[in-house]
Structure 1
Amino acid sequence: METNPTDELRFLDLTSCQLHDLADIDLPEILEEIDLTANRLTKLDERISLLSHLKKLSLRQNLLDDQAVEPLTHWNTISGLEELVLRDNKLTNTPDMSIFKSLLVFDVAFNEITSLMGLSKVSLALKELYVSKNEVLKMEALDHFHSLEILELGSNRLRIMENLETLTNLQELWLGRNRIKAINLCGLKCIKKLSLQSNRLTSMLGLQIDIFRAIFV
């Protein structure tokens, strides 16, 4: 079967190209996925804001700071985005993602974020949230994520498990390498995988072994 050239143009893979900008790159309007992992980008190309069919955008492992990603918060044409990866950049705050009502996967791991408060404006439809390897001090601004299935907060500075009560569909909770002393699952019923490795646990009270498929402590 012959491959439709149009299908090939829907996905643009520019991983590990050491690009400083996209000036010499063609961005067809029909693009649905762009992977810019492992480049040297310090700002976003405004042409991305015109890609109305875009569903997945990966900017992993670049040099983007808070100011560089701020334009994303106004790009209404790509508001149908379902997956946004900003992992391993230079962010200190969670960008305002309120325009992305269909966002299912949001990844801001490996940055320098200190607070989760910015998440209060992230899509209610979110299913996967990755904020590991940051400087987060408190579990907050999570209560509206009723559809969330995976929450990754490993390698932060968390001391207390809290504010998880409303995450009724959560299946995986990753909290390894924090400063947690006590286990509190806040009544979660659907959880199947839990990681609490390398914390400061003083007891296993609060851990219901029978509900898990995998536990790492």
Structure 2
Amino acid sequence: MKGEEDIPRTPDQSETLDEEDNLVLDLTGFQLHDLDGVDIPPTLIELDLTTNRLSALDSRISALSRLRKLSLRQNLFDDSGIDPISSFDAISGLQELVIRDNKLTKIPDVSIFKSLLVFDVSFNEIFSLNGLSKVSATLKELYVSKNEVPKIEEIDHLINLQILELGSNRLKVMENLHNLTNLQELWLGRNRIRAVNLCELKCIKKISLQSNRLTSMIGFQDCIALEEIYLSHNGISKMEGLSTLLNLRVLDVSSNKLTAVDDIETLTKLEDLWLNDNQIASLDGLDMALAGSRNHLTTIYLERNPCANTSNYSIMLRQFFPNLEQIDSNIFC
């Protein structure tokens, strides 16, 4: 017997349609198996089909010549269910395509979308980036996290890319990034990467390499635009290669093997510093190690280090850094 949550709701067009010329149709969460009972106005610019049970593309989508955003997130699409989109010529002006959280095993052919800006195929079962070479060079945001990708490839032509998300895959090497000269955010957490290689990406502002297999921080020193670095849950034993990163605001090196705080005394813009879950023995010299950011630091985490057992621990930190707003996860200034 079906429970109430298993029974698809019938969309109320007055609730789901944008009142202005029927530009947006949002069918999020209706648990629909198909769109047979849904009116799809030809004027649509955005169609959101998130969280349904769709496994095939409704043929009427292929006629939406004004469509710019299409979300198929969290459905039941496999490769054969998505393949027809490669012949939907009328919607070739699409700018945002989200097929996140489905059952894809390959990158779909989206070569007809010559103005694509955002492409999201995260949380699927994709085993290779083969097929990305067909994606338009107009792309600015690419999301392929939580798949089974072993290698960074077929992205050389994506010279306008600003955000690249490849976290939670099977990557071992940072490679083939040289042409991404406009890249600002690179997310590679939860992979198997052992060394930093940013391929001289001068514009990169944010990078995550959390939960990899790093033992060294060398590799960031030439990326002087960096503002945020996330390196928690690695095997790093020494802070190095950071003194040139004068724009750095956030540094997360928690859950590593650090015994001291080094190479960041010149950083005058540092606001957040996460050093928790390391092996830092003493607070002695910490004020000098962070001399450049003394008046800018607002957050510091040192919990679960031996130094956090120091008498008057929080009082000393407030004396060192007068503008602190948070110490560890439970002390607010």
Q: TM-score band (shorter)? A: over 0.9
* Residue of structure 2 equivalent to 1:214: 228
| Aligned counterpart for 1:175 among listed residues 184, 188, 200 | 188
Alpha-carbon deviation of 1:178? 0.1
1:47-90 per-residue CA deviation (whole Å, 9 max, x = no partner) reads: 00000000000000000000000000010000000000000000
Q: Give the partner amino acid of 1:66.
A: D
Deviation of 1:112 (Å): 0.4
Partner of 2:246: none
* 2:143 equivalent among 119, 130, 141: 130
Q: Tell me which of 9, 12, 18 is aligned to 2:31.
A: 18
- Structure 1 runs (4+) deviating above 6 angstroms are none
* TM-score computed with the length of structure 2 as normaliser: 0.63
The aligned residue for residue 196 of structure 1 is 209
After TM superposition, give the deviation of residue 41 of structure 1 in Å: 0.3
CA RMSD of aligned residues (A): 1.0
| Letter matched to residue 137 of structure 2 | L
The aligned amino acid for 2:144 is V
Q: After superposition, give the CA deviation of every residue in 1:95-127 in whole Å (9 maximum; x if it has no partner).
A: 011100000000000000011111000010000
Instruction: Supply the distance in 2 between the matched residues of 1:135 and 1:177 (Cα, whole angstroms).
Output: 12
In 1, Cα distance between the equivalents of 2:87 and 2:188?
32
* Long gaps (5+) in structure 1: none
Aligned residues: 213
Distance 2:133 2:217 in 1: 31
What's 1:116 paired with?
A: 129
State the percentage of identical aligned residues.
Answer: 67
How much has 1:207 moved relative to structure 2?
1.6
Q: Deviations over 1:27-62 (max 9, x none)?
A: 111000000000000111000000000000000000
Q: Hey, what's the Cα distance between the residues in 2 that align with 1:113 and 1:145?
A: 20
Pairwise CA distance, 1:211: 2.8
Structure number with greater Rg is 2
Instruction: Give, in whole Å, the separation in 2 of the partners of 1:117 and 1:55.
Output: 25
In the alignment, the residues of structure 1 paired with residue 136 and residue 154 of structure 2 have an alpha-carbon distance, to the nearest angstrom, of: 12
1:152 pairs, out of 158, 165, 171, with: 165
The amino acid of 2:72's aligned partner reads L
Indicate yes or no: 2:164 matched with 1:166: no
